[in-house]
Amino acid sequence: MRSAGWIFVYFAASIPSRLEAFAATGRARRDILRIQSTDMAEGEIESTVLVAGATGGVGSRVCAILLAKGVNVRCLARSEAKGRELVDELSGLVDKINQAGNKGCGSAEVMVGDVSDASTLTRNMFERVKAIVVCHAATVRPKPPEETDSEGSMTYRGMRYFEPELVSDPETVDFGGMKNILSAAQAWSDVGVNRCSDIELDACPVDDNAGPDAVCGLPNVVYVSSAYVTRPTRPELNMLQEPPVVRMNDMLGGILTWKKEAEDLIRESGLTYTVVRPCALTDGAGVIAVGAPERLEMGQGDEFRGKVSRSDVAALCVAALNCPEAAGKTFEVRRRKQDAAQPSEQSEMAQLSVLASEYFGWRSRFATLEADSEISA
């Protein structure tokens, strides 16, 4: 068992001069960030979880939880600048975990690649990868007030919203990115079958008497989609009563439509998968980190409205990797309406590390959900 983790920064770039420039300016920083495992043999090769969209709100939290659990993580970032920010965050978490005397971290590699550009996804990004958590998404931001009417804001159910604008194209990023990830994974990775010895998160989920090569049926791909993805095409719904993102789906380039199409790509890929559909995402520690996972509601049929913390979504994704009961299922998730995240003196990243040693009965909760093959997602 490792007693310390390490982070290795490898900014893959298509132009050699960029690599040379980074090597010249970043060598000292790399030495600081690489925290060697004291009992990892030289040249030892272990399985890895790839996180696409690793610098985003959910993706960075997934990386943190996996790292704290002792799992090797390969973090896919779209830019070197974002990659460096993630490295700073994760290296701080490594220090906190080691100081707390926990079992030790996995390793983290940060690689630069754009999921919407297949030419940037290279074989070395997928080597030894046993599972993938897909968190990338098209970017939407508030439109500048000078480009809108009424100071750029709108009202929905008494709440003020700013008019959004697309920064990236949903068809290219959500759908095209998923297509590229699945194609590369099936060509170069080991995501075809997960076995007990591949990814050590918690106790082996198969029979205690099973050998190390017994097939677990664990999810190979966990996808963070979105609630509401089926609603733009449901004629029975009154669009005037739907959340703004549903009513503005077409204006936002079909942002929900292309997430649903990306879901279908996974279902048709032949890989074992879990699709998580969070309601409106919020920041903060969430309910899991404060020890109250029962405050999360999971449902099916795309009927939920509400909010959920990015931290809670990240914890669900990591839990699904270790639960065969989550395989082949699609579900929505939200925080119970009457509950709010409790304040804490700890930083959110420090709270995430607590999840490394907690097991909140996810298997029994996932078991209550129906498989996609049994229902219409």
Q: What is the pLDDT of residue 20?
A: 30
Lowest mean pLDDT among 94-103, 204-213, 232-241: 204-213
Overall domain count for the chain:
1
Residue 355 has pLDDT above 60, yes or no: no
* Residue percentage of the chain with pLDDT more than 70: 66
d(Cα 82, Cα 67) in Å, to the nearest integer?
18
d(Cα 377, Cα 369) in Å, to the nearest integer?
12
Q: What is the pLDDT of residue 223?
A: 98
Report pLDDT digits (tens) over 136-182. 999 888 776 554 455 444 554 455 556 778 889 999 999 999 999 99
Residue 1 lies in a domain: no
Residue 76 lies in a domain: yes
Read off the CATH number of the domain in which 161 is found: 3.40.50.720
Q: What is the pLDDT of residue 120?
A: 95
Q: How many helices (H) and strands (E) does the chain have?
A: 11, 15
Lowest mean pLDDT among 45-54, 111-120, 211-220, 316-325: 211-220
Q: What is the pLDDT of residue 134?
A: 98
Residues in the chain, overall count: 377
Expressed as residue numbers, the domain containing 310 is 6-374
User: Order of strands, edge to edge, in the sheet holding 296-299?
Assistant: 6-9, 107-112, 73-77, 48-52, 129-134, 221-224, 273-278, 329-335, 296-299
The residue among 89 and 231 whose pLDDT is bigger is 231
Q: What is the pLDDT of residue 102?
A: 58
Residue 162 lies in a domain: yes
Q: What is the pLDDT of residue 232?
A: 95
In terms of average pLDDT, the best of 88-92, 208-212, 327-331 is: 327-331
**300 and 322 in contact (C-beta within 8 Å)?**
no
Residue 139 lies in a domain: yes
Q: Which amino acid is at 106?
A: G
Residue 324 lies in a domain: yes
Average pLDDT value for residue range 213-240: 85
Residue 358 lies in a domain: yes
Residue 3 has pLDDT above 50, yes or no: no
What is the number of other CB atoms lying within 10 angstroms of the CB of residue 311? 29
Q: Name the pLDDT band for 132 (thresholds 50, 70, 90).
A: very high
Residue 121 lies in a domain: yes
What is the number of other CB atoms lying within 10 angstroms of the CB of residue 103? 13
The residue among 236 and 151 whose pLDDT is bigger is 236
Q: What is the pLDDT of residue 206?
A: 45
Report the predicted TM-score, pTM, of the whole model to 2 decimal places.
Answer: 0.80
Residue 270 lies in a domain: yes
Report pLDDT digits (tens) over 25-44. 333 223 223 322 333 333 33
Q: Name the pLDDT band for 87 (thresholds 50, 70, 90).
A: confident
Q: Name the pLDDT band for 285 (thresholds 50, 70, 90).
A: confident
d(Cα 63, Cα 107) in Å, to the nearest integer?
10
**63 and 86 in contact (C-beta within 8 Å)?**
yes
